[in-house]
Structure 1
Amino acid sequence: MKTHTYNYYTRSQALAANYVWFDYLSYLHRLQTSSFASYHRHFRRGFHQPIYLTLPIVIQFIYHTVTMKITTVGITILNDQILSLTTCTQLYVYPIKALRGIKLKSARIGPQGIAHDRTFMLFQVSEPDGELKKMQVDSHPQCALFEQEFSGGNISVRYHDPENQDQDEQPLVIPLIVDTATLAKINVNLHGSAPSSAYSMGSPYEDWFTARFGSPIRLVYIGDGKRAVLGDTLPPKKHQQTTQNGKGGWLSSLTSYVTGRGQEGKPWITFTDVAPLLVTSESSLHDVSARLPADQPMPMYKFRPNIVVDGQGEEAWAEDLWAELTFNNKHKLLLTGNCVRCVSLNVDYETGKPAVGELGSVLKKLMKDRRVDTGSKWSPVFGRYAFPAVMQDSQGASFELRVGDEVEVTKRNAERTVWDWPGL
């Protein structure tokens, strides 16, 4: 057998070969070949000095050549990383937080997530002190009875009265972008992160919600307000995207939420809980449904995601370790935290009350084996919070995502992230 001799001048150079090894495997992968002859040809091309191919490198070559796999579904094992190809199957946006989501075919993704997501929020006025209490599905399951949809430049909201399903009332129409010049400022707080400013929409909007909830309600618009991201939820600074609105009004909001352009500043969020986006997987949803009667599958909308991927080629709960998703080989999301779950999973969206039977015990079923985040050890995990990474294209801070677009899991964590949003 013909041997090939190489000559290293120092021991450190020999050791360095171990570190360049994976770069050559990556190059080899791009060439879509794993033959020794092709590898050897490209390996030698990278060096101009004769060197000795040390025994550890020979062992590494055999091991990694055998274990590197390229399959038709795009799964590649390389340097202990699994890159899997999947598809975006659903997109949701929630202009008014806690109401039913709007299912989209495409969405503009910017630093604050999907355009117009959770820019409005409902608060209940406590009596007699007038304290504002946040309204979410877990504490106010009646929110599930309100359907919203886009209608031109407006949000159209309909109330589904479970006691009078034949009722055909006129929807409430709310402008997506509001001129805040005539609105009263209001102080609100969500999960310990208060927006720099927020505005009460006043009549007739708040009157409409008050009549249906049966208690005083404030509809709050975040406008040019910004909420700080707390804890270690933020991605590394080099990956952070930021935008900053102008001093007020609809023009500055339009610039921020539609085009994503603006001056750089500290990263911020709207009335989203802790991050701009929530990503979930259908593979994990199938596992949840397998815990329920066959005729009562768990619907994805109860998990209130923004982006759903099919998880093809992935086991259930593989997303626990996802660190980065790449869309259409170009746009990246950085997944920084787990979404821990509450009793909102048990709500019946037809009655606006806790569901009866098996669908009313989904949270309990997940508690058995999905309490996997040591930072929130009493709550089960489903889904991952995400931030758009810095964009390098001409569009700057936003990109278009469509149902059916290709999604690749391009980075994974060695272990699960730990929840650390203070007080939540």
Structure 2
Amino acid sequence: MLTISQLYIYPIKSLAGIKLDTVEVTDRGFKHDRRWMLVDENNRFLSQREIAVMALIKSRITDHYLEVTYKDSSIKIPLTPVKQEFITVLVWDDTCNAQLVDDDIDKWFSGVLGLNCRLVYMPDESLRNTDPQYTPEGYITSFADAYPFLMIGQASLNDLNSRLTQPIPMNRFRPNIVFKCAEPYQEDLINEFTINNIRFNGVKLCARCNIPTIDQDTAIAAKEPSKTMAGYRLKNKKIYFGQNLIHTGSGVISVGDELKVLSTHNEERFIV
């Protein structure tokens, strides 16, 4: 039996994640997951790929605020922005509408990152479609790279760590769902499955960038694990680790819930 072992959300894109025992599934992913994002002066998203210190900015959710901390400094971000000013932002090749949050909050983040930036929020009215090359019409996501969820089997990380001199934690890969399984990379071939009667589909293996090389506790980058992964998880010049998901339905899922596989993939693009 496959069971959920870890659940994560990342309220502000590319900042530190929050580990949860129970999480609500909404129309565009887990509640609060990547509903906020930092953008540069051209309204393009910022990420750890270029600014590794973003890994060290932590947050927690209270009843009314997203509380964000960096070293000894912190701010409170209202869960519902007050500022009624909207801009068009860029996430990779996608453009979508976003709501500005607060000028003072922008100054705080600009000081932490050492560059001019603004925090934006994705309101419910902003509907960003998933990649039509891999998903049917009508599926949406937040400010995530392209899909509502990323899923990884714990056995896959265990297998990778058995090949490394220094084991690494799961947070290097920034998943939303981690599950217990017997075989490594079982997630590669999972197509349709359910958790608490919510249907999920694996639609695309996750091609990894440089973020897994960044220590999420120090923001220091190294060659691993990409160097090792290139030896056995490389296909078409890309390193794959994890499966991107879409879903149908809403509800609540928790650590310990069963992941029931309904069908698997046999297409060549899911085989590494």
Displacement after TM superposition at 1:124 (Å)? 2.4
Displacement after TM superposition at 1:152 (Å)? 1.8
Q: What's the Cα RMSD here?
A: 1.8
8 A Cα contact 1:228 1:269, kept in partner: yes
C-alpha distance in structure 1 between counterparts of 2:98 and 2:27, whole Å: 19
Aligned to 2:17: 101
Count, aligned residues:
270
Equivalences for 1:161-200 in 2 at 5 Å?
168-169=72-73, 171-179=74-82, 182-195=83-96, 197-200=97-100
Larger RCO of the pair (alpha carbons < 8 Å, separation 6+): 2
SS at match of 2:224: helix
Displacement after TM superposition at 1:416 (Å)? 4.1
Displacement after TM superposition at 1:177 (Å)? 2.2
Report whether the alignment pairs 1:369 with 2:232: yes
Displacement after TM superposition at 1:415 (Å)? 2.5
Given the alignment, which residue of 185, 188, 212 partners 1:320?
A: 188
C-alpha distance in structure 1 between counterparts of 2:131 and 2:269, whole Å: 15
Displacement after TM superposition at 1:307 (Å)? 0.7
Aligned to 2:120: 220
Output the amino acid matched with 1:333. Answer: F
SS at match of 2:95: coil
Moved >6 Å (runs of 4+): none
8 A Cα contact 1:88 1:308, kept in partner: yes
Output the amino acid matched with 2:132. Answer: G
Equivalences for 1:216-365 in 2 at 5 Å?
216-223=116-123, 224-235=125-136, 266-293=138-165, 296-311=166-181, 313=182, 315-328=183-196, 330-355=197-222, 360-365=223-228
Provide Cα deviations, 1:334-391, integer angstroms capped at 9, x if missing partner.
1111111011111122332314xxxx3211211111123xxxx2221111111113xx
Output the amino acid matched with 2:27. Answer: P
Which 5+ residue runs of structure 1 have no aligned equivalent? 1-84, 126-130, 161-167, 238-265, 390-396, 419-424
8 A Cα contact 1:141 1:347, kept in partner: yes
Residues 1:107 and 1:416: Cα distance change in structure 2 (over 3 Å): farther
Residues 1:173 and 1:142: Cα distance change in structure 2 (over 3 Å): same
8 A Cα contact 2:172 2:215, kept in partner: no
Which 5+ residue runs of structure 2 have no aligned equivalent? none
Output the amino acid matched with 1:401. Answer: I
8 A Cα contact 1:110 1:388, kept in partner: no
Residues 1:101 and 1:416: Cα distance change in structure 2 (over 3 Å): farther
Output the amino acid matched with 1:269. Answer: T
Displacement after TM superposition at 1:324 (Å)? 1.5
8 A Cα contact 1:233 1:274, kept in partner: no
Given the alignment, which residue of 397, 401, 415 partners 2:267?
A: 415
8 A Cα contact 1:336 1:417, kept in partner: no
SS at match of 1:353: coil
SS at match of 2:234: coil
Kindly name which structure, 1 or 2, has the bigger radius of gyration based on alpha carbons: 1
More helix by share: 1
Provide Cα deviations, 1:307-338, integer angstroms capped at 9, x if missing partner.
11011x3x21122111022224x332111111
